Amino acid sequence: DSGVTQTPKHLITATGQRVTLRCSPRSGDLSVYWYQQSLDQGLQFLIQYYNGEERAKGNILERFSAQQFPDLHSELNLSSLELGDSALYFCASSATGTGDGTQYFGPGTRLTVL
Amino acid sequence: AQSVTQLDSQVPVFEEAPVELRCNYSSSVSVYLFWYVQYPNQGLQLLLKYLSGSTLVKGINGFEAEFNKSQTSFHLRKPSVHISDTAEYFCAVTPLTPLVFGKGTRLSVIA
């Protein structure tokens, strides 16, 4: 158990809908990262927050947004969903916002868009 | 930009045999290197990491990796694998914060 929790575990929805994925980092970790894992693209970095502020942005679509709240939990919002958004979405956390900080991954949320 | 190439998408190996999973990276700056393992239906778990210092890094579950700067490689090895090592293994690099992952290598241990 990494100490990172993600809810829900599975999500099934229809095209055009909007969903919210939630992540609680390990106790004391200030940085949260979101990754998308799909068969064709592999594991791709989406976005990072550090202590409530956006720190780095990766291949995140404009239809997607995220935020980190004062209690350090984070939410990833996916809207106008398309079939191609079906994937595993992982959240990771680290104590620091720098590269030498180990990232601990949650169990993921499997999103299926029908 | 950084990139990671995992040279083998699948590696079958017999139980108790040695294994090497290959990883090469490309970067114009110094990087930190990681190996993660993903068991079926689970998240990623850190096996080991190289930040600096000794180029031979030991991790959990008997795995080790060697950083070779001249060959830009970070190959993962285990002298004797077990059935429980069957999983997907990911090599990753980062110069700053977001991890750049390779496509993964599926290790299948055969009894």
CA-based nearest residue in chain A for residue B105: A42
Kindly state the DSSP code that residue B62 receives in the 8-state scheme. Answer: G
- Contact: A45, B99; criterion CB under 8 Å: yes
Segment A29-43 mean pLDDT? 92
Question: Mutate which of B3, B42, B99 to disrupt the A interface (most A C-beta within 10 Å)?
Answer: B99
A11, A114 contact by CB (below 8 A) = no
Segment B24-51, tens digit of pLDDT: 998 878 889 999 999 988 889 999 999 8
B10, B86 contact by CB (below 8 A) = no
Segment B74-104, tens digit of pLDDT: 999 999 999 999 999 999 998 766 888 999 9
Residue B4 CA to residue B104 CA, distance in Å, equals 10
Residue B1: pLDDT over 80: no
